[in-house]
Amino acid sequence: MEKIWLEHYDPSVSAEIDPDRYASVVDIFEQSVSAYGDKTAYINMGQRLTFNELDALTEQFAAYLQNSGLKRGDAVAIMMPNLLQYPVAMFGILRAGMTVVNVNPLYTARELKHQLTDANVQAIVIVDNFAATLESVVADTPVKKVLRTALGDMLPAPKRWVVNFVVKYVKKLVPDFDLPAAESFMQAVKAGAKLSYERVDVNGDDLAFLQYTGGTTGVSKGAMLTHRNMIANLEQVSGILEIVIEPGEDLVVTALPLYHIFALLANCLLFLKFGCPNLLITNPRDMPAFVKELSKHNFAILPGVNTLFNGLLNTPGFNELDFSRFKFGLGGGMAVQRPVAERWEQVTGTVLLEGYGLTECSPVVTVNPPTIEAYKGAIGMPVPSTGIRLLDDDGNEVPLGEAGEMWVKGPQVMKGYLNRPDETDEILKDGWLATGDIAKADEQGYLYIVDRKKDMILVSGFNVFPNEIEEVAAMHEDVVEAAAIGVPHEVSGEVVKLFIVARNSSLTAETVIAHCRKHLTGYKVPKHVEFKNELPKTNVGKILRRELRD
C-alpha cells in the first residue's frame, strides 16, 4: 500500500533510516559508554551499575569467552530473569563476536533440550533456580560449558549472602541440582580481567541474536536476527520516540523479561543507546513488591503488555505513585484493551501508546506517535523504512479500510529461520514477511489489528474476532480478564465461548452474556461462559487461547 502515513509523521521524523549507521550493536554499546560513562546504566534490587562498570565487566566476560575454546559466531545461551548479570552476559557475548540465544527460564526440559540442540549452543549462562532443568538434558545437547550464578551474585556483601540464602533456604526457590562441570559466572568474569580481549570486527550480516519464537503454535523456531536487523529497528523506533526522550536522564522500567524480544529492543537496547538508566524488575508477578519498588524512583517510561498494565491498575498503591516525571507506557506483545488504556490515562495522566511487532521483525513494525492525544485503538503507524501490504486470501491488496493479512518489508525483517529453509520460504517471499495477523488501515495510515488469522472464530459463515469479544467483556466493571475462543456447534459450525476472571464471585454467566448482548451483534454474543481463577499465559503475559481450546 502507498505510504500514506508519512505525511502524518511528526516533522522531525525521517521517512527513511540508515540501517548501516553503526557497524554493529557493539558499536552502539561502545559509543554509549563513551558518552555516558559515569551515569547509571542498570538498577536491580537497589544496586546500580554505571556504563563504565558495565564496560569493564562485559570486556572481562568477552575475554573469558574468547580464551575458553569458543570461537567467533558460536551460540551462547542466557537463561535467567531480569538481573544485573543479564546485560553483563549479553553484551559480553556480543563483544566476543558470538551470538546470543535468549532462553525462557520457565522452559520445561523438553523445550530447553530442543532449543539448545537446534541452536547448537556451545555455552550457557544460567541462574541456579533453573539449573535442575538443565541438568536433566545437558548431556544430550551440544553444550560444552555451563556458567551458573545465584540471584544475588552481583549485589555487595552482606546483601548478596542474605539474598542468596533466603532464595535457596527460606523461599526454597532453588531445586537441588548436580552440575559438577559448571563454573561460576562471577568467577569467569573475574578471570577475564587477567586475560587478553580482542575486539572483533563484527559486521551487519553477522548474527546478533537467535531469538526463538514463543512456540505457542508448532515447534519453536530460531529467528536469525543480524546486527543490521537490530540496528535498523533501533533507528526506526528511535526516530519515532526520540522527540520525547531525554538522553542520559529518563528512567525506563523493565518489568518484561529481557529474554523476550520486545523488552530486549524497547528496553535494553533502545535506552542503552539513549544512555538512560534501566530499572530491572526480577519478579513483576509480585505486584505489591513491584509497586513498592516503583515508589522509590522517578520513572519516565514503562513498556509492558496489557496484562501487566491491568495488573498494576488493580494493585493497591499504584494510583498513589508520583507520575510527575512519567511520559508514557508502551504496550506491545498483545492487544491493549480500551478499558485498560482509558483507566491508565485516568490514573497516570498519560496516554498508553500501543505498538505492534513480532520476533521475526526484531520486533517493531508499528507504533503510535508519543504526541497522540488519546488512545484510539490503533497499533500506530509503520516505523520509518517499513512497507506494509494488506492482502486477501487470493493475495490481492484490499481497499483502504478493509481487513487483510498484514505483510511487512523493511531492514528489520529477519534473515530467516535457522536451518528451516522450507518454513522460511513459507513466511518470507521477495523480502515480504507474512505476519499471520489481520489488520486494516485508516486514511491517515494508522493500522488496526483485527485479529490473528488462526484465532478467528467462524459462526455461520461470519468471521468473529476474539479481540473484539474480549474487549467488550473487559468493559464490565466486574471482569478482570477475558479470553474468547470458538467451540464446535452442530448448527453454526462454531459459537463463542468466553473465559472470565471475575473481580468478585457474585458475577454470573447470565450477567456477562447480557452485557455482551448490549454491545455485540447477535452471532458474536458468547453462548458459553466459564469462570476461572486465572487464564493461561506465556511468561510475558500473552493469553494462550490455544491452551483454552485444548
Q: What is the pLDDT of residue 218?
A: 54
CB 155 within 8 A of CB 163: yes
Give the domains, in start order, of the chain with CATH numbers.
Answer: 49-202 (3.40.50.980), 456-549 (3.30.300.30)
Give pLDDT, residue 214.
56
CA–CA gap between residue 369 and residue 382 (Å, rounded): 10
pLDDT at 213 over 80: yes
Residue 391, number of CB atoms within 10 A of its CB: 16
Say which residue the cell 518489508 belongs to. Answer: 409
Alpha-carbon distance 249 to 278, whole Å? Answer: 10
Report the side by side order of strands in the sheet with 528-531: 479-489, 493-502, 528-531
Residues 150 and 287: their CA atoms lie apart, in Å, by 23
- Is the pTM higher than 0.75? yes
Mind giving me the DSSP string for 431-499?
Answer: TEEEEEEEEEE-TTS-EEEEEEGGG-EEETTEEE-HHHHHHHHHTSTTEEEEEEEEEEETTTEEEEEEE
Phi–psi pair at 5, nearest 5 degrees: -75, -20
Give the bridge partners for 498, in sequence order.
484, 529
CA distance 498 to 339: 17
Burial class (CB in 10 A: 0-12, 13-18, 19+), 220: middle
Report pLDDT for 80: 97
In one-letter notation, the amino acid at residue 323 is: F
Per residue in 423-480, pLDDT (tens digit) is: 999 999 999 999 999 999 999 999 999 877 778 888 877 778 898 899 899 999 999 9
Residue written as grid cell 501487566: 308
* Chain centroid, CA 193 distance in Å: 33
Query: For all residues of the chain together, what is the average pLDDT?
Result: 95
- Residue 132 pLDDT exceeds 90: yes
Handedness of CA 188, 193, 198, 204 (dihedral sign): positive
Share of the chain above pLDDT 70, in %: 99
- Residue 481 confidence class, pLDDT cut points 50, 70, 90: very high
pLDDT tens per residue across span 309-356? 999 999 999 999 999 999 999 998 878 889 999 999 999 999 999 999
* Residue 344 cell numbers, joined: 491508565
Q: Which of 197, 341, 354, 359 is nearest to 265 (CA)?
A: 359
Q: Is the Cα torsion angle 504, 508, 514, 516 positive or negative in sign?
A: positive
Task: Give pLDDT, residue 215.
Answer: 45
User: In the numeric block, which cell numbers belong to residue 449?
Assistant: 489489528
CA 408 to chain centre: 19
The conformational region for residue 519 under phi > 0 = left, psi -120 to 50 = alpha, else beta, is alpha
Amino acid code (one letter) for 243: I
Is residue 51 within 8 Å of residue 41, measured between CB atoms?
yes
| Average of per-residue pLDDT across 357-382 | 95
